[in-house]
Chains A and B, each alone.
Chain A
């Protein structure tokens, strides 16, 4: 019962959407030179918006099941 109610996603059982969420939405933001050197505008902020919309579109594109194909790609990747 406990195991049904609490689903522990194992490390090798890839959760693509969770990974996208972590890698693209979070993590320390350090301004790279590219975002700084282009112009005076706050491009870092712009960059974050782009990342956010990228997560959304990836999540919409894959859904939980569609993630499989990317994971297969990734396995071939090795």
Chain B
């Protein structure tokens, strides 16, 4: 945004920046996007700039104008420090992308993609046409589902003897052994218990990912949040799956089966979605 940048136009303010810039939500095919824009659309990220399209060839970007004073790089970074400001805008972003994703194949963009000018968006659509089309094709007829797996470690710990062959064997030995020997075996059991709990968490998380991957493409994600304890216990895996619309029934049934299978040992599954394919809008 240097003064004298040839890209800047008549919309410039005295400081050399345009007064309005463009917030980009998602990219999709021109035809369906145009139809969906004529439906009742959700509110744009800022009330003073309505949703509109920027079209280049067969692609359309869904955008709205926003004040540069709030969405310029420095301004945006400081706004992001305010959780309420960010949360509201993130929800608006999501509502807009959902509107278009529900009935067409869209490439969802990350929060905060800003262009100074329409021409910049057109240029991007033209230059990246092939990549964007490939992503749109890949996502067609599919939706993203999130699976969060939680573990209540105290429940798991009390049940771990059931789950571990080695612990069961030691418990049996302890019962039959002399008191002195039994004491030593108990010590060994205690030491092993923690190790087996960790192994069980890993095993179950792996089983969930493997099993559900049969019904879609999986992406494993790490949790951002540092404090991982929730009402459901500790988050042990956060997964995202790209599931064909017609296979969702099977996917859900498999998730329910896994949930039942591991519930007694202290595990819980949470299914979220359908999401626009945020995790699968990967640049080829």
Contacts and interface: CB of A to CB of B under 8 A. Distances in A.
Looking at chain B, what size class is its interface with the partner chain? 35 or more
A73 interface: yes
B146 to A, nearest CB: 7
Contacts of B109: 27-30
A67 B90 CA distance: 13
Given A29-B110, A32-B113, A64-B230, A23 B80 contact: no
A75 B24 CA distance: 23
Interface in A41-73: 43, 47, 50-52, 54-62, 64, 67, 70, 73
Contacts of A22: 94, 146, 275-276, 278-279
B268 interface: yes
Interface in B54-99: 71-73, 77, 80-81, 83-84, 86-88, 90-94, 97
**How extensive is the interface on chain A, given as a class?**
35 or more
Nearest to A56: B224
A54 B86 contact: yes
B284 to A, nearest CB: 11
Contacts of B112: 32, 47, 51
From DSSP, what is the main secondary structure of chain B's interface residues? mixed
B43 A32 contact: no
Q: Which of A22, A35, A74 has the most CB of B within 10 A?
A: A22
B215 to A, nearest CB: 15
A2 B84 CA distance: 35
Contacts of B268: 5-7
Contacts of B225: 17, 56, 59-60
B282 interface: yes
B269 A26 contact: no
A51 B27 CA distance: 21
B140 interface: no
Contact of A34 (B72, B83, B107): B72
B135 interface: yes
A28 B108 contact: yes
Given A6-B256, A37-B2, A78-B43, A62 B114 contact: no
- Please provide the 3 A-B residue pairs with the shortest distance between their CB atoms, ordered closest to farther: A27-B110, A5-B259, A26-B278
Interface of B: 1-2, 5, 7, 21, 24, 27, 43, 71-73, 77, 80-81, 83-84, 86-88, 90-94, 97, 107-117, 120, 124, 128, 135, 146, 221, 224-227, 230-232, 252, 255-256, 259-260, 263, 268-272, 274-276, 278-279, 281-283
